[in-house]
A and B are shown apart, each in its own frame.
Chain A
Amino acid sequence: AQRVTQPEKLLSVFKGAPVELKCNYSYSGSPELFWYVQYSRQRLQLLLRHISRESIKGFTADLNKGETSFHLKKPFAQEEDSAMYYCAPTLRGKLIFGQGTELSVKP
């Protein structure tokens, strides 16, 4: 069965600290991998996708096929990064969202 696990419901860090939001997936096939973010009172929106190999707002995500993980990282967290983050592999056009990790960046 296809499954996405985000083990931390809440991650709290201080401003300027590194942050890593974990995502593990269990899939048959080779899914495309996305991270979506929802800031307070805003819509769910794409943060980044693996296929683009890009860094958005200082975040990067590394795919580890051996560990089937797609962790999201940022070296220096900012207060404006506080939000809900969802890992979302997709296969045949179907996004499967994890439960989400709430990131809280304290001043």
Chain B
Amino acid sequence: EAGVVQSPRYKIIEKKQPVAFWCNPISGHNTLYWYLQNLGQGPELLIRYENEEAVDDSQLPKDRFSAERLKGVDSTLKIQPAELGDSAVYLCASSFGRETDTQYFGPGTRLTVL
């Protein structure tokens, strides 16, 4: 089992450009999470999906960020346009979805906006 897969692992773009991140969760996991981790901070939840439904997107900056999980499996997080302050690590995680379930994290995508 490869675990949670994320791509790309690294991305460097210029400000105002669009960028997209992809995540494939562990097979059978209904719940998928996107987190933002700034340097020296813990991860912060951006959005949580249960199957195809975004059940918590309260922390997602909707003016520039969007996400989708069309078939309830893999997911894409997009930023358009990117700003300098978006430089961070974007983490994807998945779980079976119950509150006490372990969340399994991917390796993350390190985004640098120049």
Which residues does A use to contact B, with CB under 8 Å?
A: 4, 9, 32, 43-46, 49, 51, 86, 88, 90-100
Contacts and interface: CB of A to CB of B under 8 A. Distances in A.
A97 B91 CA distance: 13
Contacts of A91: 99
Interface of B: 3-4, 31, 40-45, 48, 55-56, 91, 93, 97-100, 102-108
Contacts of A44: 43, 91, 93, 105
Contacts, number: 52
Contact of A32 (B43, B56, B100): B100
B93 to A, nearest CB: 8
Most buried by A among B56, B91, B98, B105: B105
Contact of A92 (B43, B99, B102, B108): B99
Contacts of A93: 31, 48, 55-56, 97-99
